[in-house]
Chains A and B, each alone.
Chain A
Amino acid sequence: MTDTRTKPPPPGAYQLTQLRALESEAVHIFREVAATFEHPVLLFSGGKDSVVMLHVARKAFWPAPLPFAVMHIDTGHNFPEVIEFRDRTVEELGVRLVVASVQASIDAGRVAERPGVSRNRLQTTTLLDAIAEHRFDAVFGGARRDEEKARAKERVFSFRDEFGQWDPKNQRPELWSLYNGRHQPGEHIRVFPLSNWTELDIWRYVAGEEIDLPPLYYAHRRQVVRRDNMLMSLCEWIQPAEGEEVLEALVRYRTVGDATCTAAVESAATTADAVIVEVAATRITERGATRADDRFSEAAMEDRKKEGYF
């Protein structure tokens, strides 16, 4: 006996849109981790990728609540509206938030802060200490392969040794959608559900799903200084240096990270649809336009990642 439905459907039928296919892949990854790890955690900064990641995670487990906590690595140099957004989001979703503080790592003598240098790199120690303390064995990150050339090389399930290190020369083969998350106690796996999304995919998804983002992703007026050809927002930690002119500019953020090393771009886009138009036409990558920290060396991201960075 054979199935009654043996005729192939007409061509073009049963196609998912690209965004639905990406969403479905991410949902599959979330469920795979939830089914096979003991203590996963999702890195949540309030940045657009982590917001999209959290949104997809909710979908993966609905109607059950998220089966893991979220963690913010807090550099202490925050945009207040992002922290407000973070707290409101976890409250609304009823998820548990773990905050690991770079300031606490500095106070405890785990890392030393150098004047004039952003706390970006220091986050690695705070992150790895928190992973060890809470015994997290799978850590979801919102990194995308289109962001940066070292990230373009990373697996979806990325093995980290007991020192949290990434060894890009010796990654596990990763075939089809069969992931190998096996590890010894003390080692862990970084998991990147949005690996195959581009910046444009993120924005199209934000628009389509009507996902709420911190307001600084949309055009607003702000006092900035032009530094190293980037627009840095004035705040507690960024004050105009001698000879720097304070400008009032209409800007938005393409990425949101540590306030001392994330720049704004000039923009009049006040909606996700307007941002999509801008992103589709841009000639500069999001990190190139906004991250002061990645400009000083050819392999800055790779070197940080090898140490255990996001």
Chain B
Amino acid sequence: MELLRFATAGSVDDGKSTLIGRLLFDSKAIFEDQMEAVEQASLRRGEVTNLALLVDGLRAEREQGITIDVAYRYFATPARSFVIADTPGHVQYTRNMVTGASTADLALILIDARKGIVEQSRRHAFLASLLRVPHLVVCVNKMDLVGYDQDVFNAIVEEFRAFAIRLEVSDLSFVPVSALVGDNVVHRSAAMPWYEGSSLLHHLETVHIASDRNLIDVRFPVQYVIRPHRAEHHDYRGYAGQVAGGVLKAGDEVVVLPSGWPSTVAAIETFDGPVAEAFAPMSVTVRLADDLDVGRGDLICRPHNRPHVGQDIEAMVCWMADGALKVGGRYAVHHTTRTARAVVKDLIYRLDVNTLHRDESATDLGLNEIGRVRLRTTVPLFYDEYRRNRTMGSFILVDEATHATVAAGMMLDPSHGG
């Protein structure tokens, strides 16, 4: 069965968690004891049954009535199975939204019909496009509070389209909903006869999810070397890893980076036996015909289709720490299975998420800000542009003193220039 991963997004209190609760409840994906617990928790708070509590599971979230961190939920209908990441809208927790959206195929952007598009709606829409979430569904929520007025919906659609034109969004749709009442969530609503589209669930079940996996460029980052040291496997040496791109076949001519030594794939092995070919996201063990010095952080690819190799990296970064990113700052960088140190050579611009204006005079990136940077790494990285391959083009920066994850990076093609 086809799997769709989606994440919610949008400003605080726009109704994301309520929408997910409603979606699960109306599609009968809630267990009786979960529902009972939510009813009791709502009662204790003197509220009517609050469906957001189905996902807002932390004590602090319930006390404050907001989402703090991503909740993952799993459910299936006869048509599809879904992994939901319900993310927080509060600006302070933007990094948790980024966590949830980084693996999503689709983002649901909620907008409160009364408030319209606010800065955080734009920031999240922009982040979704930066992370290359291929589908955006804008849910104009709380339609019950604007008398289900078509004009309110249309005005928001128009304004959002104007903004989205400047984002890279391949598929954009709009649904007027009330998460609280359930209009157009699982069932089409009688309150909005003017809306001719499908319910949100129907859309999620039928949206065509073109796979964003790269099946062309063979990329195998070596993760771990398997050496059994046992009599029956005395000379065994296997390179374990997860295929990051392309289709690797037994018998393929390959090269190993950084050495550039050529070899041939002698076998692709798994516990369940050898396989003729491997593709993302398969975890396999590759054996080469030649005895080479290969270790974690090396990359196996085809001789005539190699990734970029370089120490000068240009990337879009989303900054996720309280202390600002500054030119000259030094961090650890984790990229595929390779770890290096990096220094920020240049902040090329900082982006204003409201206007998408590029501020080239910026000297730092504060918490939750997005910008384009140039890094210099201690060793070469083997990478592809993020838009070509999410795995090969993404990295995180880690503060070497606090060990906090401070930035998410999406790599750019060096030939595109600054």
Q: Could you tell me which A residues sit within 8 Å of B by CB distance?
A: 1-6, 8-9, 11, 13-14, 16, 18, 20-21, 23-25, 27-28, 31-32, 34-35, 58-65, 145-146, 148-150, 152-153, 168-169, 171-178, 180, 182-184, 195-196, 198, 282-285, 288-289, 298-299, 302-303
Contacts and interface: CB of A to CB of B under 8 A. Distances in A.
Given A148-B57, A172-B404, A288-B34, 11 more contacts: A14-B213, A28-B283, A31-B240, A65-B228, A153-B69, A173-B320, A176-B394, A180-B398, A182-B403, A288-B31, A298-B37
B70 interface: yes
B59 A178 contact: no
Contacts of A146: 73-74
A152 B230 contact: no
A292 to B, nearest CB: 13
Contacts of B233: 63-64
Interface residues of B, number: 79
B75 to A, nearest CB: 9
Given A173-B99, A176-B102, A8 B398 contact: no
B281 interface: yes
Nearest to A157: B405
A31 B216 contact: no
A106 B396 CA distance: 44
Interface string B65-77: 0001111111000
Interface in B75-111: 81, 83, 95-96, 98-99, 102-103
B102 A63 contact: no
B194 interface: no
20 contacts: A3-B216, A3-B218, A14-B213, A14-B279, A23-B283, A25-B281, A31-B241, A59-B272, A145-B74, A148-B57, A149-B58, A152-B72, A168-B58, A173-B95, A175-B394, A176-B391, A283-B31, A288-B33, A288-B37, A302-B59
Interface string B387-403: 00011001110100001
B296 interface: yes
Contact of B405 (A153, A169, A174): A174
A180 B331 CA distance: 13
A50 to B, nearest CB: 18
Across the A-B interface, the 3 shortest Cβ-Cβ residue pairs: A149-B57, A288-B33, A3-B305
A2 B73 CA distance: 42
A63 B270 CA distance: 9
A82 B281 CA distance: 35
A24 B216 contact: no
Given A28-B242, A196-B72, A182 B230 contact: no
A17 to B, nearest CB: 9
B223 A28 contact: yes
Contact of A168 (B69, B218, B285): B69
Contacts of A61: 226, 240
A63 B240 contact: no
Nearest to A209: B272
Nearest to B58: A168
A184 to B, nearest CB: 7
Contacts of A65: 228, 230
B261 interface: no
A210 B304 CA distance: 43
B408 A62 contact: no
A173 B403 contact: no
B302 interface: yes
B159 to A, nearest CB: 30
Nearest to B249: A5
A220 B69 CA distance: 42
A168 B44 CA distance: 23
A153 B41 CA distance: 18
